[in-house]
Amino acid sequence: MFSSCISKKNHYATLSSQEMKLEALRRGQVSKIKRELQGVRDSLRVIEIETATKAGSISTLESLRIEMDRKNKELEEKLEEQSVQSSNAQADLDKSLKGKDQEIATLKSKIEKAKSLVDGSTVDFGTLVGDLRSRMGPYDPNLYEIISSAGSMSLEINESLLFKTSSVSKLSDDGKVLLQNVANVMNGYPTINIVVIGHTDDGKPKTGYADNWMISTVRSVGVVNVLTENGVSQNQIMAAGKGEFAPTGSNSTPEGKSKNRRIELKFVPLQSVLAKQVKQALN
């Protein structure tokens, strides 16, 4: 009997040990299943989130695609409209540029013509010098001088070639011929103005004249009269007198005094005529 009790204890102990093992195994399996189930749930959640995200992305992309299609269509329509406008604008621009090219060509032609007039007035001085030298050739070169400078030139003639001996203002016949020759030259230069300036020495003026200013002016007027009588335009010429105040020689010597008694013909471009010609060329 005692032996039987021991067997039963051992049997219960064995059962208890097996049950504990079984319980532990069951719990381990349940825990594993729970972990696996949680893993599956987590995976499903991730899938749900990704699916929702992807769905949202697709929806967003689809919206964007639709919007881009709309914008692209609008852009194409605008480009087409602008293309037509650009074509018309280009035609207008080409027409305008062609007109401008013609205007520029015309203006260039006018400028060249005006420039030739201005250049011609400068060239005139060169030819004028030559023409005057040829007319003054028969005369003593010590009694006249041609002075050329930028923009003007002068012909200075000693009184002895123009006026009668011992006369203050009366021109000699030879002097008139000389002035006629000068007038003939000047008739070919209508755009050149002439200022006739009388000069004296510093000697006391002769009876009948208040001062040397008067003598020099009277002499210049006499020269102007002969030149205009021989065709020089009155609008092209003027008379002036400087008295003894613009000497070219020394008034302390007879030679210097003689040199100072002279008529100066100063030639300058007739600006009014030249300006008028240039203005006409530019219009």
Residue 35 confidence (pLDDT) above 70? no
Which of 28-32, 103-107, 127-131, 264-268 has the weakest average pLDDT? Answer: 28-32
Residue 232, classed as helix, strand or coil, is coil
For the chain, the structural domain boundaries read 1-94, 116-282
pLDDT digits (tens, 9 = 90+) for 184-242: 999 998 888 999 999 999 999 988 899 999 999 999 999 999 999 999 999 999 999 99
Confidence of residue 2 (pLDDT cuts 50, 70, 90): very low
Exposure class string for 110-147: b at 16+ Cβ within 10 A, else e: eeeebeebeeebeebbeebbebbeebbeeeeeebbbbe
Q: What is the pLDDT of residue 101?
A: 65
| Selection from 267, 264, 230 nearest residue 159 by Cα | 264
pLDDT digits (tens, 9 = 90+) for 40-72: 555 555 555 555 554 444 444 455 556 555 665
Residue length of the chain:
283
Which CATH superfamily is 116-282 part of?
OmpA-like domain (3.30.1330.60)
Q: What is the pLDDT of residue 149?
A: 73
Q: How far apart are CA 8 and CA 110, in angstroms?
A: 142
Residue 38 confidence (pLDDT) above 60? no
pTM over 0.85? The answer is no
- Are the C-beta atoms of residues 270 and 236 closer than 8 Å to each other? yes
pLDDT digits (tens, 9 = 90+) for 228-244: 999 999 999 999 999 99
Residue with tokens 């420039």, as numbered in its chain? 115
